[in-house]
Amino acid sequence: MKKKKLNLRNIKPNTEKVHSHDDGHDHSGQPNSFKAYISAIISFSMLIIGIAFDYFDVGFFKDWLRISWYGLAYLPVGFPVIKEGWESIKKGDVFTEFFLMSIATIGAFTIGEYPEGVAVMLFYAVGELFQNAAVNRAKSNIKALLDVRPNEALVYRNDDYTSVSPEMVEIGEKVQVRVGEKVPLDGILLSEKGSFNTAALTGESKPDTIAKGEKVFAGSINMKAVIEIETSKEFKDSSIARILDMVQNATARKSKTELFIRKFARVYTPIVVFLAIAVTFLPYFFVDDYVFRDWLYRALIFLVISCPCALVISIPLGYFGGLGAASKNGILFKGASFLDVMTKINTLVMDKTGTATKGVFKIKEVKAIGWKESDFMKYLMAMEDQSTHPIAKAIMEYKEEGEDFEAKDVAEIAGKGLKGVVNGKTVLVGNKALMLANDIDVPTETESIVESIVLVSIGNVFAGYVVIADELKEDATETITALHKVGIKNIMMLSGDKDSITQQVARELGIEKAKGGMLPEDKLNEVEILKQNPNNKIAFIGDGINDAPVLAASDVGIAMGGLGSDVAIETADVIIQTDQPSKVVRAIKIGRSTRKIVWQNIGLAFAVKVIVLILGAGGLATMWEAVFADVGVALLAILNAVRLQRMKWVD
């Protein structure tokens, strides 16, 4: 399917509207408050004045003037609903809430119950305004979520670099990417060399050094120097465009509860219409003092009470509120159905690199032997300053005082490290193979270190080492604790990194089950084994291309969206935009709260409707009770759903 080009500056999520008549929006997608509320304000003002005239028995407020007054009060709120009902009938969908509200209120006018007719439609319109306000709030949350993604590219045009929207960049154009920025489009590296954080794409801890002419992928983070690329894909094929497309269709996958209610309403509504007809005419055959007007009034009450709008509005809005609340918290659910599935998760499998760890190198330990640490690091940094390797960058972040040393005659020994001269002393920096090749004895203690290690000799004597490790994310440990608190006891870590490193990270986090050195198919096999137990509801958290198969196979696939690969983001069902694993706990809590509120709304709607239906059929309820049973319940349900977006989520 060919996708439209998307404009980041004018995002309009195509979230499904429960009703389609004018909702008072301008063309920017932002609510126009005056336009939205003016009709309801006019109708409400005229209704209050009319009721006051009736109450005080104002002499001139009689006959045609009274009818005209209430008729004019009815039109601003009633005409859009009648029009929508007519449009639905022309499409073959007769039994809608628009149809029910129209015949109920017009019927009220027919028997002279003008204030009731206006009130029913007015409160229905107010319910619509509440609904639209809640939907707009959720939309703004989703739009705010997307605004944090890169929305410009520096393109070389007319002998200068110009900042343009990525969708305006064509294949073959030259784009500049500054240090720390995300590559906006796939392309070919034009610079001599570049260092990129590609943990999201490969699942490996080490950043990737790419040479001129090699591919650079969208989503990679430029680590060292300003680089230039030649674009090889259009914006519409990039990760950003696909994320936008997901948001536009965020409500396409409906929950089972929502689907059931919609199917129920399609059967329920025509039954209600025929029952109302029966309430009007059947008593003629069984009641001695049958009065058509009285039984028609009861039937109209029955229609208003029976209108399913409290359900068909509040339940989808409850899920949409959950989607909006999640978006506000940096979590993108691709559909309401995953809010439901999230509540049932009892087993969580997670990747290591880029999920539990940051996927970048940091100095973990400095061990100087026979040297002051500061002097030892000056020798090492003088050598590493000549290197573009990502490990060298991590070492150069070390803070030391005093004058820097200068390295001379630095040579790179393929697969082993560096050799050079600093302050007249021969310095070797690299792995064990480099040391052995130069007859340098290496302490046995280094053999038990599982992380990346840089060995150093100064003046042909072993001088120490530096341990470089992938750093845990700040919230990784608390995430595991919080997961246990919400009832997820079965947690497993699967990683493509070395098993020794994986086991160590798992121990630090308090995860009992962990396996390293796994290929994508190995991860998939592990999840398939877990799925053989029908009681397991599995969520998998990952961020790389190598995680895509298992993301797809899990009950809920969760991708890290900040640095995650295009494939992982597109395959996943839930995207953590901030790359914080703790947001998984928040996603579970939001899913559970959403489901709780939806069932509260269902229970409230059915309980009130049943009570007032019985009272209405017995002639004990007026149109005002009917208004509360329908529109009042809808308003309460909407307000209940809106609570989701105002809740303070604490993990």
Residues that are catalytic: 351
* Paired tokens of 262: 């919609």
Q: How far apart are CA 394 and CA 380, in angstroms?
A: 12
Chain centroid to CA 573: how far? 9
Q: What is the dihedral of CA 236, 239, 245, 247, to 10 degrees?
A: -150
514, 493 in Cβ contact below 8 A?
yes
* Strand duo 174-177 + 357-368: pairing: unpaired
Which segments within 554-643 are labelled E, that is strand? 556-560, 574-576
Residue count of the chain, please give it. Answer: 651
Q: HSE on the CB side for 134, CA within 13 Å?
A: 33
Phi, psi of 155 (to 5 degrees): -105, 140
**Burial class (CB within 10 angstroms; exposed 0-12, middle 13-18, buried 19+) of 449:** middle
Exposure on the CB side of residue 270, measured as CA atoms within 13 A: 6
The DSSP symbol for 230 reads E
Residue 627 · residue 123 · CB < 8 Å: yes
Smallest Cα–Cα separation from 352: which of 539, 547, 577, 531?
547
- Strand 461-472 with 452-458, pairing: antiparallel
The DSSP output letter for 141 is: H
Q: What is the CA radius of gyration of the chain?
A: 33
Distance CA 233, CA 521 (A): 29
- Give SS3 for 338: helix
Distance, in Å, from the CA atom of 349 to the CA atom of 518, rounded to the nearest integer, reads 13
**Where do we find the tokens 């208004």?**
627
Torsion angle of C-alpha atoms 287, 291, 293, 295, degrees rounded to 10: -10
Bridge partners for 215 per DSSP: 188
296 and 111 in contact (C-beta within 8 Å)? Answer: yes
Dist CA 89 CA 75 (whole Å): 20
- Residue 149 DSSP symbol: S
Taking the C-alpha atoms of residue 91 and residue 406, their distance in angstroms, rounded to an integer, is: 81
Pick from 368, 310, 405, 180: nearest CA to 631: 310
Q: For the chain, how far is it from start to end, CA to CA, in angstroms?
A: 40
CA 402 to chain CA mean position, Å: 48
Distances (CA, A) of 370 to 51, 373, 463: 96, 9, 6
Q: Is 536 helix (H, G, I), strand (E, B) or coil?
A: coil
Spatial CA neighbour of 443 closest among 416, 462, 420: 462
Contact status, residue 215 vs residue 186, Cβ threshold 8 Å: yes
* 98 residue type, one letter: F
As a whole number of angstroms, the distance between CA 235 and CA 583 comes to 28
> What gap in Å lies between CA 378 and CA 259, rounded to an integer?
66
- Helix H or strand E segment including 486: none
